[in-house]
A and B are shown apart, each in its own frame.
Chain A
């Protein structure tokens, strides 16, 4: 079963998950997972590394690295992005540097 962290929960430390992880709470630390989904109340301070997919609807301060990165309209991201596919919705607040990996 994939992991879910709700908004009443705070994590201090690094998370490694071989499955999918959904975060709606506060995480201070790096996250490594196959798929990372950050919801609207999510607040991450740290780097996100994923094999497949990162979806951001909350706040992230740190570097993102994934095959596919999707920044929703409620996303606030500052950091460096490394990706193959990048999707940015209207309304996302960004302070980012992007680099597309070669296929």
Chain B
């Protein structure tokens, strides 16, 4: 289907879990993944899409998360998009953008993580370490 993977070059297309698929365990995806089935697992991915027939239970960590179906568990992501038929039970943590369409069903905490804060802390640490070096 989306199957043009050369050995050397990167993967084109995305993984797809069909409507009739059931999975329990752990998923670690370096690219895109689309879920239309029932999955009980923690998911790490670059981009995760939960389709209308899809349902996910577990912790999701990704760069982009799109929820058009059902999601139970916390989401940690840079961008989160929740469609009009999306259902989320869990906390949302995002860095850049949160989009929630009219009709979406959400219950949980919503929090924006500031990326700059983390960077500042890091640069403070570096300064501190450099200072120590000079002092010694």
Give the interface of A toward B (CB within 8 A).
1-19, 21-22, 24-25, 29, 39, 41
Do the beta carbons of A9 and B1 come within 8 Å of each other?
no
Nearest Cβ distance between residue B63 and chain A, in whole angstroms?
14
Do the beta carbons of A24 and B18 come within 8 Å of each other?
no
Do the beta carbons of A7 and B1 come within 8 Å of each other?
no
Contacts of A4 in B (CB 8 A): 1-3, 13, 15-16
Do the beta carbons of A17 and B25 come within 8 Å of each other?
no
Do the beta carbons of B29 and A10 come within 8 Å of each other?
yes
Give the interface of B toward A (CB within 8 A).
1-3, 5, 7, 10-11, 13-31, 33, 36-37, 41
Nearest Cβ distance between residue A30 and chain B, in whole angstroms?
10
Contact of A11 among B18, B27, B31 (CB under 8 A): B27
Nearest Cβ distance between residue A13 and chain B, in whole angstroms?
1
Contacts of B11 in A (CB 8 A): 6-8
Contacts of A3 in B (CB 8 A): 16-18, 21, 37
Contacts of A5 in B (CB 8 A): 15, 17
Nearest Cβ distance between residue B95 and chain A, in whole angstroms?
23
Query: In the complex, what distance in Å separates the CA atom of A10 from the CA atom of B34?
Result: 14
Do the beta carbons of B15 and A25 come within 8 Å of each other?
yes
